[in-house]
Amino acid sequence: MSHSANDAPLEVNCPQCGNTVIWGPESTYRPFCSKRCQLIDFGAWAEESHRIAGESAMDEADLETLLAQADKDAPLS
């Protein structure tokens, strides 16, 4: 029985160290190659070294200003 290219397991590179990882149930920490690489990446997110681009979240002062402006703009009933 011959194996086609589709039978080959998917391989990805560990986003932390670049080692090859087989994408399957035997790779517990996928897409990372190890618990160590997973924890290094998690730590970078926790200390905000990694972040998703976009606008900053509003702080409480911004929210109060927005609510006060909404109260001014609301029609009188």
The number of domains in the chain is 1
* 69 inside domain: no
Domain region containing 37: 7-51
24 part of a folded domain: yes
Chain segment 33-67, per-residue pLDDT in tens = 999 999 999 999 888 887 777 777 767 778 888 88
Establish if 68 belongs to a structural domain: no
**Cβ proximity of 29 and 37 under 8 Å:** yes
Q: Is 37 annotated as a binding residue?
A: yes
The length of the chain, given as a count of residues: 77
According to the model, what pLDDT value does residue 1 have?
A: 45
Q: Is residue 63 part of a domain?
A: no
Please provide the DSSP assignment of 13-60 as one string: E-TTT--EEE-STT-TTTTSSSHHHHHHHHHHHHTTSS---SPPPP-H
Mean pLDDT of the chain: 83
Any binding-site annotation on 70?
no
DSSP structure class, residue 4: P
Is position 13 within any domain? yes
The reply, when asked if residue 14 is annotated as ligand binding, is yes
Q: What is the CATH number of the domain that holds 47?
A: 3.30.50.10
16 known ligand binder: no
